[in-house]
Amino acid sequence: MDCWFDNEHRNLRRQIRAWVKNNLSPGDHGQGNLETNACRLANQLGQDGFMAYAVPSRFGGVRETVQARDLCLIREELAWGSALADVMFGVQALGSYPIALAGSEEQQRRYLPPLAKGERIAAFALTEPNAGSDVSAISTQAERDTNGYRLNGVKHFISNAGIAHTYVVFASTQPEAKAKGLSAFIVESNSAGFTVKEKTPLLSPHPIGVVAFDDCFVPQHQRLGGEGEGLKIALRTLDTLRCTVGAAAVGFAQRALDEAVGYSRKRRQFGHALAEFQGTQFKLADMATELEAARLLVHQAAWMNDQRHQELPLKSAIAKLFATEAAQRIVDQSLQIHGGNGVVVGNILERLYRDVRALRIYEGTSEIQRLIITKHLLKQEQPDGL
Ligand SMILES: Cc1cc2nc3c(=O)[nH]c(=O)nc-3n(C[C@H](O)[C@H](O)[C@H](O)COP(=O)(O)OP(=O)(O)OC[C@H]3O[C@@H](n4cnc5c(N)ncnc54)[C@H](O)[C@@H]3O)c2cc1C
């Protein structure tokens, strides 16, 4: 079952599981001030050594290179306990990874250690009002200026907008080249011309909003990679992080299944526990089967990432698509088993029902995963005789 992992991974799973058991408070489930709770979680996950798994060891991290298996194990366990804790870890990894991937020695030395400690918070700013699935429509521009660039444009749906200190921003340095003209920049939140325009409330606790660049000056030394390398940096980051979204889905689904098993044992109708009805048993069996398949796909994709396997983009897309769609079905079935109690505000199933939804949208919608999968299928050679 866990053939993709070694003892260090198993140890990490034990540690993060214990952390979830001992550290979560009501604020981690959406009560109280969202941003205060989000920052506290990011700081604590940093202090307790988990954010360090998103950074290479030379710059305050744990492993020589960042491993998707570590990220997946952490997200799976955090999502089991709290959607907000998962978001804070997942987005920190999303914002740190491009710097670990493409940053110069100087950039990595400056930005990664405080991110590894959770002292600073990261964000990844790709999406725009008119450029969601279609990255080639990005219109934020980075025009050359003396010793740097002037950024102009708007990004929306940016997780951690308003609480992040370090934004990795994708903007066009060559608009006529569309997606191939994108470049990546590290923008600090206190840069002149950078503003947070809106905080966007979502159905699940998740700090997110709109950021704008008005003649925002970014020095040349804060460009990440070469001019025109932005798309490559964004796609390689998403290839690695995509399976971790699947891992969060597995965490939510495992929690939904655990709750369904527990509730169906306790709740009695017609003189029997729900678990004694074959109709309930079949539901539980289907949920467990889908969950197992989702988990295997996610772990396989994470392992492939760590082996630098050439099929990673395909396997990562398959894992995200299946795990996030399956988790939605599993949570829905668990809620059904909970009957009316499942839709009462504050019930764990009501929470999971909201928490699981966005996973099918961010870091590439389910439809975009299908396009990636089919592109690979159509590229393959036909077997002999067909
Ligand atoms: C919770 C959350 C967190 C996010 N965090 C970040 C972040 O930190 N940084 C960031 O940059 N972005 C972030 N995003 C943005 C996210 O990546 C986009 O929402 C996503 O890529 C989809 O873009 P869109 O919302 O503009 O939808 P659209 O691209 O407008 O798509 C709308 C619908 O059309 C479908 N569609 C689009 N094109 C096709 C096609 N060719 N064929 C078939 N169907 C198609 C889509 O699948 C979708 O169902 C976040 C979004 C959410 C919801």
For residue range 162-219, what is the model confidence (pLDDT) as tens digits? 999 999 999 999 999 999 999 999 999 999 999 999 999 999 999 999 999 999 999 9
Let me know if domain 7-120 sits in CATH 3.20.10.10.
no
Domains in the chain: boundaries: 7-120, 123-228, 231-379
CATH class of 231-379: mainly alpha
Q: For residues 90 and 280, what is the distance between their CA atoms, to the nearest angstrom?
A: 34
pLDDT bin (cut points 50, 70, 90) of residue 94 is very high
Is 231-379 in the same CATH topology as 7-120? no
Cβ atoms within 10 Å of 310's Cβ, excluding its own: 8
pTM, rounded to two decimals: 0.97
For residue 29, the model assigns a pLDDT of 77
From residue 363, alpha-carbon distances to 156, 188, 354 in Å are 14, 23, 18
Ligand 1 pocket: which of 87, 127, 198, 245 to mutate (most atoms within 8 A of CB): 127
Q: Is the pLDDT of residue 18 over 90?
A: yes
For residues 76, 361, 52 and 205, what is the CA-based torsion angle, rounded to 10 degrees? -80
pLDDT single digits (tens) 345-366 = 999 999 999 999 999 999 999 9
Q: For residues 206 and 87, what is the distance between their CA atoms, to the nearest angstrom?
A: 7
Helix, strand, or coil (residue 121): coil
Residue with tokens 């029997």: 272
Residue 3 DSSP label: T
Q: How far apart are the CA of 317 and the centre of ligand 1, in A? A: 15
Q: How far apart are the CA of 187 and the centre of ligand 1, in A? A: 23
Of all atoms in ligand 1, which is nearest to the CA of residue 206? 1
- CB 83 near ligand 1, within 6 Å: no
* Catalytic-labelled residue, pool 106, 363, 367, 381: 363
- The answer to whether the CB of 44 falls within 8 A of the CB of 28 is no
Ligand 1 pocket: which of 133, 135, 324 to mutate (most atoms within 8 A of CB): 133
For residue 19, the model assigns a pLDDT of 97
Of 1-15, 21-35, 76-90, the range with the lowest mean pLDDT is: 21-35
- CB 361 near ligand 1, within 6 Å: yes
Q: Is the pLDDT of residue 281 over 90?
A: yes
- CB 244 near ligand 1, within 6 Å: no
Q: How far apart are the CA of 333 and the centre of ligand 1, in A? A: 26
- CB 182 near ligand 1, within 6 Å: no
Residue with tokens 């709740």: 267
259 classed as catalytic: no
- Joined together, the tokens standing for residue 367 give 């439809």
CATH class of 123-228: mainly beta
